[in-house]
Structure 1
Amino acid sequence: MQTTTRLTPGLKRFFGSESAGGVVLALAAIAALILSNSAWAPAYLAFTQIPGELNIGRGALVLDKPLIVWVNDLWMAVFFFLVGLEIKREFVSGELAQRSQAVLPAVAALGGMAVPALIYAAFNWHNSVNLHGWAIPAATDIAFAIGIVMLLGRRVPVSLKIFLTAVAIMDDLGAIVVIALFYTSHLSLAMLAAAAGCLAVLLALNRARVGRADVYIVVGLALWLCVLKSGVHATLAGVATALFIPSLDRHGQSPAESLEHGLHPWVAFLILPVFAFTNAGVSLRGLSPADVLHPISLGIALGLLLGKAVGVFGTAWLMIRLGWASKPGGANWMQFFGVCVLCGIGFTMSLFIGGLAFAGLPPDFDTHVKLGVLGGSLLSGIAGTLILMRRPSQAA
């Protein structure tokens, strides 16, 4: 990249939404922590467990879940739908459309997933149950990370903001693959066949370049239900549906872009904050050093803080030194490293994967996951910010 890198109008809107959304997300998480450690803790827990029932086909199919499960299974499917739209845009017409642009963040994201997973595994190798959480520290929370770099303003060159966004999007893609391959329970072949039928309908709509978003959403809801009952995590239906939304319809309009712009505020200011509020609450009462130093907590925290920094920066540095990619323009190595440290903020996706990894296990597992994610993400945010603030601002 050259030092003349500038933000396109689309990226400006994206960064503005993500940075403001990151603030709201942080406030929701803080509120959950305060409530779960106050006299209102029973009310907070009762809120997350509010029952919700959905009858489909006049009672032929009944879905009865507490609020927190509805949020994680249905609301987060909308988040994954938006992630799918962002991934498609970046690969079709964005910063990842050309191989030369995609290679550095792609390899850096791969290193940033592998090294944290190895660190976590090193702490939990002796316990097969604990080891199931190996992917928890492997993802970056784009809202928090972008929020910090936007607050730092010109201390972070535009090229590094784009690099961070690309790495986070690649991370999300990797997390989707991991969830599909490693966090899938018992499979129902009948429901998988029905899901395949829904995908065939979406493909037909895409090939016909149907531009009505509501048609895709109706089929996507049917796909969500089939995936939910198949044993594969239902949120993946959101990604699959998004990938079939046409970039251009028969009238030259972009249904995918319109949906992305329309959904961004809802996801940033409602869905993700509600997810954070219902999932980030952890009681700190009675915690001991042994809880903080538990292999799960420690593996996640160090995986995020050290693993992400080493994995993202190390693989990127190697690619650049070998001449296989170019360092983002207008940035020095310290700034580059600081942004790589920020990749250790893994809040949303890490909590989500943690919930899948230890579903149905005692509450202690949930506590260890939340301690590790919150601790590692907080330390990564502070460390990355301090590193970036040490350097004078440069033109971007």
Structure 2
Amino acid sequence: MLHRIVIVPIRELSESGKLSGLLLLLTTIISLLISNSAWGNAYLHFWETPVGWEPLQKTLAHWVDDGLMVVFFFTVGLEIKREVLYGELTDVRQALLPTLAAVGGVAVPAAIYLAFNAGNDTSHGWAVPTATDIAFSLGILSLLGDKVPPGLRVFLTALAIIDDLIAVLIIALFYTAGLDLTYLLAAGGIFAALIVLNRLKVTWLPLYFLLGLGLWFFVLKSGIHATIAGVLLALTIPTDAIEKLEAGLHKPISYLILPIFALANTAIVVSGESVSELLSPLGLGIGLGLLVGKPLGIFGATWLTVKAGISTLPERVTWFKMLGLGLTAGIGFTMAIFIANLSFDNPAWIDLAKLAVIAGSLLAAVAGLIVLHFADKADESEAPAGLILEAEPPA
């Protein structure tokens, strides 16, 4: 009885890809509830508990962001390498459409944010609404079952991976503290050694991970965010080991690391004042960046690319479905919250940014679900002038 009522549904949710997104949502709700309960102060202080010793003493929250999340970024690096070597990004023409869509999906939200915050002290948070949470976004698509053609899922996956790559570059270039040249050179030396191991076709992974630990330490101490070490290590991993590592890390990341990240980073005290602050330039810049900027950037870049004859829509993907995908890509959550932590020194701004990410992501998810649910009926009706409803056949 227990097996049929509890275990089987959980297994089905896991296999469909919905469980990881639902777990992130659940842990976020739990964290917000505890933060705003009688145990709120104790809960907030728990994540501020110092752990470790010099030169690596950090709070629990910082260990989650600088330690556990390195594993998440390691898998991001593996996904990027896999897609470039033998995935959707192998063929330049095939990769062009999601690449340009991802660029549009980064540029327009950043522009919307800066439209509200340019010239203010909060302008440094321009990158917060540019990120897409691949787990949540694909989870939303999975809720719609057969209403979503395979081509749309593949397109979103490729777009989100490119989006992650852009996010990694943004973190490295714009959210780096003062550099320590000695540690940076040491990190460069270890990365060079990892490249040599790869070129010599060394396949013993423990050696890569041991050097990767040193790479993480020196990158952390150099002033570059430590998560970049995870991406760099992933790029040197032997190709034959990529899929096995991704499969082995999927469950720990989806069901442990990301839920812990959600608990640590959504410990936010919500009040009437903080909710009203969502209408401030900071709140509107992030919320509208995700809800409006993401779909506008992705849809607009895709439309221009197809109209210019550079590429074509994936099979069975229509413009209404592409609009729904753009809205779904407005779910920023994990990466957006991560960048919010890097963007501001003011704790109140960090909490407001996270609250705006949650609100914008939730609205984008609901809007995406509605548009994709009714996309087939919309496609049957008369299309807006100038829009091609069905994908054009490849040239």
TM above 0.5, yes or no, is yes
* Cα deviation 1:170-197 (Å, max 9, x = unaligned): 0000000000000000100000010011
For 1:328, give the aligned amino acid. Answer: P
Matching of residues 76-87 of structure 1 within 5 Å: 76-87=69-80
Question: 1:39 corresponds to which residue?
Answer: 38
1:126 to 2:119 alignment: yes
For 2:134, give the aligned amino acid. Answer: I
Q: Distance in 1 between matches of 2:261 and 2:274?
A: 27
* Cα deviation 1:69-105 (Å, max 9, x = unaligned): 0000011111000000011000101111111210000
Question: 1:24 corresponds to which residue?
Answer: 23
Sort the Cα spacing of 1:26 and 1:119 in 2 relative to 1 into closer, same or farther, 3 A: same
What is the Cα deviation at residue 264 of structure 1?
1.0
* Aligned counterpart in structure 1 of residue 195 of structure 2, from 199, 203, 207: 203
Tell me how large the CA RMSD over aligned residues is.
1.7
Larger mean Cα displacement after TM superposition, 330-339 or 155-164 = 330-339
* Aligned counterpart in structure 2 of residue 103 of structure 1, from 96, 109, 119: 96
Sort the Cα spacing of 1:16 and 1:170 in 2 relative to 1 into closer, same or farther, 3 A: farther
Question: 1:334 corresponds to which residue?
Answer: 320
* Aligned counterpart in structure 2 of residue 226 of structure 1, from 218, 243, 248: 218
Q: Distance in 1 between matches of 2:272 and 2:92?
A: 52
Percent of matched pairs sharing the same residue = 49
Q: Distance in 2 between matches of 1:391 and 1:111?
A: 22
Question: 2:361 corresponds to which residue?
Answer: 377
Sort the Cα spacing of 1:311 and 1:185 in 2 relative to 1 into closer, same or farther, 3 A: same
Sort the Cα spacing of 1:366 and 1:288 in 2 relative to 1 into closer, same or farther, 3 A: closer
What is the Cα deviation at residue 52 of structure 1?
1.1
Structure 2 SS opposite 1:132: helix
* Cα deviation 1:273-296 (Å, max 9, x = unaligned): 100111012211242564121111
Structure 2 SS opposite 1:63: coil
Q: Distance in 2 between matches of 1:260 and 1:198?
A: 23
What is the Cα deviation at residue 18 of structure 1?
4.7
For 1:121, give the aligned amino acid. Answer: L
Question: 2:107 corresponds to which residue?
Answer: 114
Q: Distance in 2 between matches of 1:259 and 1:37?
A: 39
Q: Distance in 2 between matches of 1:93 and 1:293?
A: 45
* Cα deviation 1:269-321 (Å, max 9, x = unaligned): 11111001110122112425641211111100000000001000100011111
What is the Cα deviation at residue 391 of structure 1?
3.1
What is the Cα deviation at residue 357 of structure 1?
0.7
What is the Cα deviation at residue 47 of structure 1?
2.2
* Cα deviation 1:334-355 (Å, max 9, x = unaligned): 1111011111000000000010
Question: 2:372 corresponds to which residue?
Answer: 388
What is the Cα deviation at residue 222 of structure 1?
0.2
Give the conservation status (yes or no) of the 8 Å contact 2:219–2:225.
yes
Q: Distance in 1 between matches of 2:223 and 2:16?
A: 33
Q: Distance in 2 between matches of 1:44 and 1:63?
A: 23
* Cα deviation 1:344-384 (Å, max 9, x = unaligned): 000000000010011xx232111220121011101100000
Give the conservation status (yes or no) of the 8 Å contact 1:29–1:276.
yes
For 1:107, give the aligned amino acid. Answer: L
Give the conservation status (yes or no) of the 8 Å contact 1:213–1:259.
no
Give the conservation status (yes or no) of the 8 Å contact 1:32–1:281.
yes
* Aligned counterpart in structure 2 of residue 301 of structure 1, from 287, 294, 304: 287
Give the conservation status (yes or no) of the 8 Å contact 2:17–2:142.
no
Question: 1:9 corresponds to which residue?
Answer: none
Q: Distance in 2 between matches of 1:110 and 1:121?
A: 17
- Count of aligned pairs: 366
For 2:314, give the aligned amino acid. Answer: P
For 1:375, give the aligned amino acid. Answer: A
Q: Could you list the runs of 5+ residues in structure 2 that have no partner in the other structure?
A: 1-13, 380-395
Question: 1:146 corresponds to which residue?
Answer: 138
Q: Distance in 2 between matches of 1:16 and 1:305?
A: 29
* Aligned counterpart in structure 1 of residue 262 of structure 2, from 276, 282, 286: 276
Following TM superposition, the consecutive aligned residue runs of length 4 or more in structure 1 with deviations greater than 6 angstroms are: none
Give the conservation status (yes or no) of the 8 Å contact 1:140–1:349.
yes
1:176 to 2:175 alignment: no
Q: Distance in 1 between matches of 2:15 and 2:130?
A: 25
1:312 to 2:298 alignment: yes
Give the conservation status (yes or no) of the 8 Å contact 1:17–1:268.
no
Q: Distance in 1 between matches of 2:24 and 2:275?
A: 28
Q: Distance in 1 between matches of 2:274 and 2:194?
A: 52
For 1:90, give the aligned amino acid. Answer: E
Structure 2 SS opposite 1:112: helix
Give the conservation status (yes or no) of the 8 Å contact 1:191–1:230.
yes
Sort the Cα spacing of 1:288 and 1:50 in 2 relative to 1 into closer, same or farther, 3 A: closer
Q: Distance in 2 between matches of 1:229 and 1:126?
A: 31
For 1:62, give the aligned amino acid. Answer: P
Structure 2 SS opposite 1:287: helix
Report the TM-score, using the length of structure 1 for normalisation. 0.90
Q: Could you list the runs of 5+ residues in structure 1 that have no partner in the other structure?
A: 1-14, 55-60, 248-253
Question: 1:166 corresponds to which residue?
Answer: 158
Question: 2:50 corresponds to which residue?
Answer: 51
Question: 1:260 corresponds to which residue?
Answer: 246
Give the conservation status (yes or no) of the 8 Å contact 1:35–1:44.
yes
For 1:95, give the aligned amino acid. Answer: E
What is the Cα deviation at residue 46 of structure 1?
2.3
Larger mean Cα displacement after TM superposition, 209-218 or 188-197 = 209-218
* Aligned counterpart in structure 1 of residue 333 of structure 2, from 347, 363, 376: 347
Report the TM-score, using the length of structure 2 for normalisation. 0.90
